[in-house]
């Protein structure tokens, strides 16, 4: 099997997993592209991306152009004479001229089963939507947003306790493994790409902090899925007693099957030994069970530990959310 000359383009931890897999393969990484260093941490010091850190550790040439649209950047890329360019969560759009540069084109690792969840946040949106499974797609890139033909895919389940952080890590490993076998198939001339179907297309919009505030008039299953989808970022939250400065962060939850409480949405019901129980739904007749949470100024804890602290803000009958404004926090 011939070895391919590969240019790799990626930025976050998710992409670093694929780069690590390429470095362990027979293919040769001849250059790495990543986003420019960004301020991070309390001191806001310029910090290299995880992909850059790994590339430097391996002695690879690193390129950090602000854009790939100008002629100088494209000339530099062309000089690497790559057979294929692998793109994983790079963060820059690739113009047509760049897509056409490598002899075998550009290949992308996308964290969904395309055409479902094209776009910026496929991992989070799959959990939020209540999908039972997701996966990775290895795609031959074209000029559209995640519209290219699919070379390979691999699937994994989403359970009732899967968080976005856990799914991210699982898909990073699955994507790296699938990428490596797909490049082998490309090198041997046995890879074939299947156009994405016209039906079943959905878009995964970028997450925002604003959408992490919970509305307890929504169904319990929807709220539980949103809590897991937003863990570890931006983290679902609600106000305590309607006070904007007092926020309860919610990290793990499920919907209770028993219903019939019919109390105002956001009302704290008698707790379990290990869960806060919150009335929710349009009529307050559903129950959301929260098993991990974080009080203002505190650490994220199992709810059993929070209940042991006997915080008056979590007392039975208190109300959570903005509709509780005027209630005692």
249 Cβ contact partners less than 8 Å away, ≥ 6 residues apart: 235, 236, 237, 293, 294, 300
DSSP code for 248: E
Is 269 annotated to bind a ligand? Reply is no
Polymer length of the chain: 329
Rounded to whole angstroms, how far apart are CA atoms 252 and 55? 35
Query: 105, 99 in Cβ contact below 8 A?
Result: yes
CA neighbours closer than 13 Å in the CB half-sphere of residue 207: 21
Report the DSSP beta bridge partners of residue 247: 239
Query: 147, 108 in Cβ contact below 8 A?
Result: no
Choose among 312, 319, 184: nearest CA to 242.
319
Report the DSSP beta bridge partners of residue 194: 150
Is 250 annotated to bind a ligand? Reply is no
103 Cβ contact partners less than 8 Å away, ≥ 6 residues apart: 82, 83, 84
SS3 content of the chain, % helix, strand, coil (to 5): 25, 30, 45
Query: 303, 276 in Cβ contact below 8 A?
Result: yes
70 φ/ψ angles, rounded to the nearest 5 degrees: -90, 160
Helices vs strands, H then E, count in the chain: 8, 17
Compute CA 271 distance to the chain's CA centroid, rounded to the nearest angstrom.
Answer: 31
Report the DSSP beta bridge partners of residue 240: 243, 320
Is 114 annotated to bind a ligand? Reply is yes
Is 112 annotated to bind a ligand? Reply is yes
Residues annotated in a binding site for (6S)-5,6,7,8-tetrahydrofolate: 112-115
Residues annotated in a binding site: 112-115
């Amino acid at each position: 099997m011939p070895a391919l000359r590969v240019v790799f383009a990626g930025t976050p931890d998710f992409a670093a997993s694929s780069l690590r897999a390429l470095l362990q393969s027979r293919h040769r990484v001849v250059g790495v592209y990543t986003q420019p260093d960004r301020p991070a941490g309390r001191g806001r010091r310029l910090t290299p991306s995880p992909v850059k850190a790994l590339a430097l550790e391996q002695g690879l040439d690193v390129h950090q152009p602000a854009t790939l649209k100008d002629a100088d950047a494209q000339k530099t890329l062309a000089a690497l004479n790559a057979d294929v360019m692998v793109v994983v969560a790079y963060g820059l759009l690739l113009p047509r001229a760049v897509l056409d540069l490598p002899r075998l084109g550009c290949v992308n690792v996308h964290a969904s089963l395309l055409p479902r969840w094209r776009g910026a946040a496929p991992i989070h949106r799959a959990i939020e939507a209540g999908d039972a499974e997701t996966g990775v797609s290895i795609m031959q890139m074209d000029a559209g947003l995640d519209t290219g033909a699919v070379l390979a895919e691999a699937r994994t389940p989403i359970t009732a306790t899967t968080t976005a952080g856990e799914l991210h890590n699982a898909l990073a490993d699955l994507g790296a493994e699938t990428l490596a076998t797909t490049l082998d198939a490309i090198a041997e001339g046995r890879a074939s790409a299947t156009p994405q179907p016209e039906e079943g297309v959905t878009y995964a919009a970028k997450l925002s902090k604003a959408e992490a505030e919970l509305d307890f008039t929504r169904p319990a299953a929807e709220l539980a899925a949103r809590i897991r989808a937003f863990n570890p970022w931006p983290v679902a939250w609600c106000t305590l007693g309607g006070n904007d400065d007092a926020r309860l962060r919610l990290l793990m939850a499920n919907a209770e099957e028993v219903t019939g409480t019919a109390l105002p949405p956001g009302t704290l019901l008698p707790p379990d030994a290990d869960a806060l129980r919150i009335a929710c739904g349009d009529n307050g007749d559903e129950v959301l069970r929260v098993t991990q949470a974080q009080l203002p100024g505190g650490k994220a804890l199992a709810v059993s530990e929070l209940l042991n602290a006997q915080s008056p803000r979590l007392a039975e009958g208190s109300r959570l959310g903005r509709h509780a404004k005027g209630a005692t926090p």
